[in-house]
Amino acid sequence: MRNNGKMGTNQHYITRLEKKGVKPTAVRILVFRALEEAQLPVSLLDLENLLETVDKSTIFRTLNAFLAHHLIHAIEDGSGSLKYEVCSNEDTCSIDDMHTHFYCERCHRTFCFHGIHVPIVHLPEGFNMQSINYMIKGICKECSYKMKMNE
């Protein structure tokens, strides 16, 4: 990994990885940085395009390691591929991290609505929730605006 005068900024990523027991290799730092800087959930293909020098299988293995160590969570948005995003709580990825997502059926982007929490679901006795996916589908603000301009 090139320095580019940014090694100091990598300390944040190194600390987050080490705190969760993940060895901070150059590739893991690149992938984690890309996920955090994206500010939207991203797919494996998105990461491949962002990190052209890293092969798909390495990115996939890195994502699985991050999932196993609760650094990120995966979202099924109905597009046919999982999207990944960094857990907002540095200590653990929990049900509290599960916020509402919006999938735009026109531009195929997935947006996070951190301020809109997933509704509380009361399960029957004996059932224990591990995760929840709350997805709203429609047309995003930007696409709605473009559609109105084309009318």
Please enumerate, as own/partner, the contacts of 70-75 that have beta carbons within 8 Å and a separation of 24 or more: 70/20, 71/16, 71/17, 71/20, 71/22, 71/32, 72/35, 73/97, 73/98, 73/131, 75/41, 75/101, 75/110, 75/133, 75/135
112 is in an annotated binding site: no
87 is in an annotated binding site: no
* DSSP 8-state code for residue 57: H
CA 77 to CA 84: how far, in whole Å?
10
Which 3 state secondary structure label does DSSP give 135? strand
CA 4 to chain centroid: 26
Query: What are the φ and ψ backbone dihedral angles of 150, each rounded to 5 degrees?
Result: -90, -5
Binding site, annotated residues: 104, 107, 140, 143
Binding site, annotated residues for Zn(2+): 104, 107, 140, 143
